[in-house]
Amino acid sequence: MIAGIIQARLGSSRLPGKIMLQACGKSMLELMIERVQRSKKLDKIIIATSTNSQDDKIVEFCTQAKIDYYRGSEYDLLSRYKGTADKFDVDLIVRLTSDTPIIDAKTIDDAVDAYVQNRYDFVSNCYPMPRTYPDGTNVEIFSRHLLNEADREAKKPSEREHVTFFMWMHPERYKIFRVDYKEDISKYRLNLDYNEDYTVLKTIFENLYPKNQNFSMEDALKWLDEHPNIYKINSNIKQGQGFVKSLEADKEAGFDVNDRGLFKDRSA
């Protein structure tokens, strides 16, 4: 079974409760799920949330929307994904994050095709750097076997918090493939991390969704090109700040830190 597992919690330090913020009368999480459900490759969609009481709201949403869910560790995301895959007997995991509400079903399906049609261990459209897709359209694919291996061996705080960090930081061990777009469109930011991001995403949805609920990633980028004042609102936010913080936690825990230049600013 191929499952899209969406990690989701309300305790974001940068924008608390962000996935329940509204656009077009719906939460960002609901809008994202609508888009993911259009994938032709996923057999199931599962929300992986935490046991923190504040995430009861996510469980309530899943129950009402009849979406499968699993509750696990708030900060050990690797164990949370393992618990989710075990509970629902998932063979192939398509990792999605709830701060990517404009994720395109075609992006998901293209990545799944790349994995299924080849003999890769890990397929992504965002790692290793430099990526060509915008931040906020991230897809990562790996087997349950690889997930179990990472869960057994990953020790660093960064490897436990960022589910696939252990996998793509070992290119000598795993066959890794990055799916690229036909051109470099990484300058756009479609991620939901800060209030500026919410302003941009809310504006995109409110302008495109009423006319076409199935608008594409390309439709969103074209609209941003036509409205540079909106594009500029979050264009200066740097990517990978969460990873940088995790690497600092590794150092504090006594681990050697080597990011292999994966988070180097492309514009530098």
99-141 pLDDT per residue, tens: 999 999 999 999 999 999 999 999 999 988 889 999 999 999 9
Give the dihedral of Cα atoms 191, 195, 196, 198; nearest 10 deg.
50
pLDDT of residue 169: 87
Question: What's the whole-number mean pLDDT along residues 72-91?
Answer: 97
Answer whether residue 79 shows pLDDT above 90.
yes
**Model confidence at 59, in pLDDT bands (50, 70, 90)?**
very high
End-to-end CA distance of the chain: 42
Question: pTM of the predicted model, to two decimals?
Answer: 0.91
Q: Six-digit token pair at 122?
A: 């890990």
The 10 Å Cβ neighbour count of residue 202 is 17
Parse the chain into domains and list their residue ranges.
2-252
Alpha helices in the chain (DSSP H): 28-36, 56-65, 77-88, 105-116, 144-153, 157-161, 165-168, 195-208, 217-226, 228-231, 241-252
d(CA 126, CA 165): 12
pLDDT of residue 164: 93
Give the helix/strand (H/E) hosting 122. strand 122-124
CATH code for 2-252? 3.90.550.10
pLDDT by residue (tens digit) across 5-22? Answer: 999 999 888 899 999 999
